[in-house]
Amino acid sequence: MCWALKKCYYRIYQKVLKFAMCFMDWKEPELLEGEGAVLKLPSFIKDKGIKKVLIVTDKGLMSLKLLDPLFLELQKQGIWYVVFDDVQPNPTIPSIECCKDAYINNNCQGIIAFGGGSPMDCAKAAAARVVKPKQSVRKMRGYLKVHKKLPPFFAVPTTAGTGSETTLAAVVTDPTTHEKNAICDSSLRPKYAVLDPTLTLGLPPHITSTTGMDALTHAVESYIGKSNVKSTIRYAEDAVKLIHANLEKAYVNGKDMDARNNMLKASFLAGSAFTRAFVGYVHAIAHNLGGMYNTPHGLANAVILPYVLEWYGSSVYKPLAKLADLINLGKEGMSEEDKAKAYIEEIRRMNKAMNIPEKFDFIKEEDIPTLVKRALKEGNPGYPVPKIMKPEDCEKVIRQLMA
């Protein structure tokens, strides 16, 4: 198929998908918000008639004893719980299967996903396997392949970045092929979420910075794409303003409760934006760096974001100029191009200020063809990007990332 026909097919696919999404349920999760909100969760669960839950988290959070107050309150409310904490930084299919087995073998009635994006994604995929026992994780990858209501799902984020508490996606890694793919279905969107800033107070600075830039990437990629609606534009703009005003504050002073609270809200808003308006090539490349080299997702997005925005060129000048104006970067007399470039430079300045590297030193020359192929397989035709990449374009960007 010639390139012109391919591009035409991609755009038609994206328009049909955008139209189809108008008929999906976009009701936002019911929120428990504010300092100490996590302690209200057990009584909230009890009111739903749930007596036994699976808690999905990771060993790092368990070692920090961050869940101990929740455990105590669950006991007070008479709710029996089982902990599954064998979640890797990039959740794998075997881990998801073990999580599913823990739910079924213990006759659980609901799931609490407690942590960053990895526990959330693991819990979502495991819940999908619970309701679709005959469909493998590999066969669920892609769009709208679950189609079944999940068990009651309560999302408790401990980082301000992934937005998984409000998205319809779960990203999983296949350890056999080292591929990282998303399962996208409206049934994966949590019905309940807890935004408690006290859970993020102990985050190390490098986690604060990279997860925060992950949220910014969600907001920016959704904002510049071609599947926006009024609500996603508003969510993305509000998220961008909050992130630029609060991320570096939270990075410098991890105990700044207002900054932590605002970043949690920003992450939620950015997640609400991209779960309907989608992301783009930053994520497509980042996912595959994660699958190939186990690169933390937030770090990958932070480094890749300015390079992809530069590659988009004039196709993103108008929306990026608007974002520049939102955060008061725009000066009188500046063109849209100047404002857009100033916004990209602001992203680079933020990365540098928070000790995020400009490039990666681990990308291997022999892996580039595979990275290009997999990134474009993810991005095309589904992501409604401002400009469509050819393989040589994707290779060019990946080479720019190499130290």
Give residue-wise pLDDT tens across range 266-301: 999 999 999 999 999 999 999 999 999 999 999 999
pLDDT in tens, 306-339: 999 999 999 999 999 999 999 999 888 899 999 9
* Backbone conformation region of residue 209, classed left if phi is above 0, alpha if psi is from -120 to 50, else beta: alpha
What pLDDT, in 10s, does the model give residues 33-90?
A: 999 999 999 999 999 999 999 999 999 999 999 999 999 999 999 999 999 999 988 8
Q: Which residue has the tokens 């087995």?
A: 101
* Segment 215-270, tens digit of pLDDT: 999 999 999 999 999 999 999 999 999 999 999 999 999 999 999 999 999 999 99
pLDDT at 276: 95
Alpha carbon 8 to its chain centroid, in Å, reads 28
Question: Residue range 393-403: average pLDDT?
Answer: 97
Among 41, 30, 107, CA closest to 72: 41
ω into 119 cis (within 30 of 0): no
Reply yes or no on whether the pLDDT at 396 is more than 70. yes
pLDDT, position 322: 97
pLDDT at 16 over 80: yes
Query: Measuring CA to CA, how many Å separate 66 from each of 60, 113, 157, 199, 364?
Result: 9, 13, 12, 7, 38
* CATH placement of domain 27-200: 3.40.50.1970
**Element of type H or E holding 151:** none
Q: What phi, psi does 115 have (nearest 5°)? A: 145, -155
Left if phi > 0, otherwise alpha if psi is -120 to 50, otherwise beta: which for 58?
beta
Structural contact between residues 160 and 212, judged by C-beta atoms closer than 8 angstroms: yes
What are residue 391's phi and psi, to 5 degrees? -55, -40
Work out the number of other CB atoms within 10 angstroms of the CB of residue 145.
Answer: 14
Q: Which residue in 213, 236, 368, 364 sits closest to 302, CA to CA?
A: 213
Q: What is the mean pLDDT of the chain?
A: 96
Region for 307 from its dihedrals, namely left if φ exceeds 0, alpha if ψ lies in -120 to 50, beta otherwise: alpha
Number of CB atoms found within 10 A of residue 130's CB: 19
The residue among 158, 160, 103 whose CA lies nearest residue 126 is 103
CA atoms 221, 222, 227, 233: torsion sign: negative
Per-residue pLDDT, 336 = 96
Does position 180 have pLDDT exceeding 70, yes or no? Answer: yes
Percent of all residues in the chain with a pLDDT value above 70, rounded to a whole number? 100
pLDDT of residue 72: 98
CATH number of 203-400: 1.20.1090.10
Mean pLDDT throughout 382-399?
97
* pLDDT at residue number 2: 85
Which pTM value belongs to this model? 0.94
| Residues 83-120: tens digit of each pLDDT | 999 998 889 999 999 999 999 999 999 999 999 999 99
Which residue is associated with the tokens 């808003």? Answer: 269
Q: How far is CA 193 from CA 285, 365, 379, in A?
A: 29, 42, 29
Among residues 216, 207, 374, the alpha carbon closest in space to that of 301 is found at 216
Give Cα separations from 77 to 53, 209, 403 (angstroms).
Answer: 12, 36, 54
Please check whether residue 313 is in contact with residue 221, taking contact to mean a CB–CB distance below 8 angstroms: no
181 pLDDT above the threshold of 90: no
> What three-state secondary structure class fits 356?
coil
Q: What integer pLDDT is reported at residue 385 of this predicted model?
A: 98
CA 26 to chain centre: 17
The confidence band for 6, taking pLDDT boundaries of 50, 70 and 90, is: very high
Strands annotated E in 62-190: 80-84, 110-115, 142-143, 153-157, 169-174, 179-184
Which pLDDT score, from 0 to 100, does residue 1 have?
67
Instruction: Determine the Cα–Cα distance for residues 266 and 242; give it in Å rounded to an integer.
Output: 6
Q: Quick: pLDDT tens for 131-173.
A: 999 999 999 998 889 989 999 999 999 999 999 999 999 999 9
The per-residue pLDDT for 331 is 84
| Domain boundaries along the sequence of the chain | 27-200, 203-400
DSSP state of 191: S
Q: Classify the phi-psi angles of 36: left when phi > 0, otherwise alpha if psi is within -120 to 50, otherwise beta.
A: left
How many alpha carbons fall within 13 Å on the CB side of residue 28? 14
Residue-level pLDDT at 332: 86
